[in-house]
Structures are given as structure tokens and as C-alpha cells.
């Protein structure tokens, strides 16, 4: 099998590093924006079996952050089931996905029941 040219390997490594750096920045930014709600980043998320989720909000919500440099991102059943399972295992009430894509607003994906509960609580205030 022929070796790839060094310039190609370097370009691919640089591209993957920049996506990872942007994903880490996304997690930090989200935790900072939601800090008044008790949000914090999960240290070593994905690296340790006990470090579930990317962001925790108080004792209420646990979320995974998804980032793509593209204009679309597919939310799969596996993605959703994973964050739901991890939230339940850690005794968090609301699982969520925070998504950032090219050329659009940041998005939050919630279960319909959690969305309705949040609206009800908001309307009572």
C-alpha cells in the first residue's frame, strides 16, 4: 500500500485538530453562557467511564455537545439514547443535546415532555 504524501497527512491532522478544538470551545462557551443556572463542563468527558455527558446544569440536566463544520448534522437514535441513559444513570431529570453547525444558531434538542414542562414552568412565572 503506498504511503500518503506528508502534506496530505499534515492537512488531515490539522483539520481534525481544529474540529476538536472548536468542539472544546463550544463546550466551554455553553457552560459559560449557562453558568448562572449552575452549568459546568464535565472534565474528561468521553475519556473516563464515570465522566458522563459534556455539560451538567445543576442537578437537573445533563447534555452532550455536538459540533460540525458542515451545514447539517444527523441526530441519531443512538446519540439520543446515549445521553438519555447517561442522564438517568446520573440521576439527572433532563437529557439534552446542544448542537452547533455552520451558518446557523446554536440548537438544543429536548424530549417533548421536558420541553412542555419547561414551557409550563415559564408561563407560571
Q: What is the CATH number of the domain that holds 74?
A: 3.40.1350
Asked if 64 contacts 97 with a C-beta cutoff of 8 angstroms, the reply is yes
Supply the mean pLDDT for the chain: 81
Q: How many domains does the chain have?
A: 1
Q: Residue 107 — very low, low, confident or very high, per pLDDT cuts 50/70/90?
A: very high
In a domain, 81, yes or no: yes
Model's pTM, two decimal places? 0.71
3-state helix, strand, coil in the chain (%, to 5): 45, 20, 35
Model pLDDT, residue 55: 86
Q: Is residue 16 a part of any domain in this protein?
A: yes
| Cα(79)–Cα(97) distance, integer angstroms | 9
Asked if residue 1 is part of any domain, the answer here is no
Provide the residue range defining the domain that includes 88: 6-124
pLDDT digits (tens, 9 = 90+) for 23-78: 677 777 777 777 777 777 765 555 445 557 888 888 899 999 898 889 999 999 99
Residue 85 lies in a domain: yes
Amino acid at each position: 500500500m503506498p504511503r500518503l504524501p506528508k502534506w496530505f497527512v499534515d492537512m488531515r491532522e490539522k483539520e481534525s485538530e481544529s474540529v476538536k478544538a472548536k468542539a472544546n470551545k463550544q463546550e466551554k462557551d455553553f457552560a459559560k453562557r449557562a453558568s448562572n443556572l449552575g452549568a459546568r463542563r464535565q472534565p474528561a468527558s468521553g475519556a473516563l467511564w464515570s465522566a458522563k455527558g459534556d455539560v451538567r446544569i445543576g442537578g437537573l440536566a445533563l447534555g452532550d455537545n455536538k459540533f460540525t463544520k458542515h451545514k447539517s448534522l444527523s441526530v441519531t437514535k443512538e446519540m439520543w439514547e446515549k445521553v438519555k441513559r447517561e442522564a438517568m444513570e446520573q440521576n439527572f431529570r433532563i437529557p439534552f443535546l446542544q448542537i452547533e453547525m455552520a451558518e446557523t444558531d446554536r440548537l438544543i434538542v429536548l424530549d417533548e415532555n421536558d420541553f412542555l414542562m419547561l414551557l409550563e414552568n415559564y408561563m407560571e412565572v
